[in-house]
Amino acid sequence: MSALDSLIEMGFPKNRAEKALAITGNQGVPPAMEWLFAHMEDPDIDEPYTAPQGHRLTDAPASSTGASSSGNGTSTAGNGDSSATADAETLPEGVAASLKCDECGKQLRDTVAAQAHAERTGHSQFSESVEAIKPLTEEEKAAQKERLLKVMSEKRQMREEQEKKEAVEREKMRRKSGKEVVDAKEKYAQQMRMREAEVRRREQAEAKKAKDEILAKVAADKAARAAAKAKAAAPPATAAQPAAASSAVSAPPVKKQYTECRIRFRLPDGSAVIQTFAASDTFSTVFKFVQGKYDGQFQLKTAQPPKTFGSYDVSESLQSLGLVPSATLMVMKL
């Protein structure tokens, strides 16, 4: 059985077995297996092999036998283990037939096998040896095959474990990303709640201010009516009373007549608009003004005293509706 058939029988793909034999100089099964073990994970393991130009350690000087062989176009190196043994037997005495690792004592067929051994073990001390490496027996081949299957199984198991670890890391990253999205949504919702609370506080403050203005206006009107009533009930002054006494009586306050009406509008989006109207304008003027500022169905009302204006108020003047000199109207969305 040739070295190629032995490698294929051990489970190596044919293209890899051919490449390993070519790179190791067709020195038999052991060097080829050493190379395959060292380069099993190479990305270019299945690419075609291009033979380099150079001298091999096991190349022997030209002899008469070699010359006659080259003359008929054949090579002394074979593909089988028997040819490797023949090469070792035809080497002149004193010529290096193999390499030896000085650190572990392992015999290596050539520099390629030594390089593979160094990559696999990290050893770096080698020396030449005249001892030829014998071909593998059937038991050794079976052991090498079992070793290969074990190595391949271990590598496959390591790859599967690595894939599992990567899958776990990806899942962790996915969960972390999802948590960040949830946190961002919660933060945005909290900001919106705070903004809405601020709008409500501002509306309450404005409503309280409007209420205070209305109460102040009611108190002033009440005081004015009380003064007018007191004046009407007072007896007329007599001629006997001195002029100083009549001048001492204070004149009742005169109610101020307003000609303008200042109205503050509170729109549904929280913004405010202030506009001045004539006191004699009808409520329809106010209604048309709001239509120009807000596109949609709405209703006008006051907070204090609570009142909702309807279609029956459009012909009333702002003076008669109690909106003079100033008032706050809330535009309510329908």
Cβ contacts of 25 within 8 Å, gap of 6 or more? 31, 56, 58, 77, 110, 112
Residue 60 has pLDDT above 50, yes or no: no
Each residue's pLDDT tens digit, 87-130: 444 555 556 778 889 998 887 777 777 777 787 788 988 888 87
Q: Quick one: CA torsion of 208, 214, 219, 221, rounded to 10 degrees?
A: 170
Cα angle 225, 280, 227 (rounded to 5 degrees) comes to 10
pTM: 0.29
**Could you give the CA distance from residue 31 to residue 25 in angstroms, rounded to a whole number?**
9
Cβ contacts of 283 within 8 Å, gap of 6 or more? 309, 313, 314, 315, 316, 317, 318, 321
Greatest distance between any 2 Cα atoms in the chain: 173
Q: Which residues of 230-253 are buried (b: 16+ CB within 10 A; e: fewer)?
A: eeeeeeeeeeeeeeeeeeeeeeee
Each residue's pLDDT tens digit, 149-199: 787 788 888 889 999 999 999 999 999 989 999 999 999 999 999 999 999
Mean pLDDT computed over 207-220: 93
Across all residues in the chain, what is the average pLDDT?
Answer: 79
**Could you give the CA distance from residue 29 to residue 25 in angstroms, rounded to a whole number?**
11
Q: Indicate the range of 1-10, 136-145, 196-205, 247-256 predicted with least confidence.
A: 247-256
Partners of residue 308 on adjacent β-strands: 301
Residue 323 has pLDDT above 60, yes or no: yes
| Model confidence band, residue 51 (pLDDT cutoffs 50, 70, 90) | low
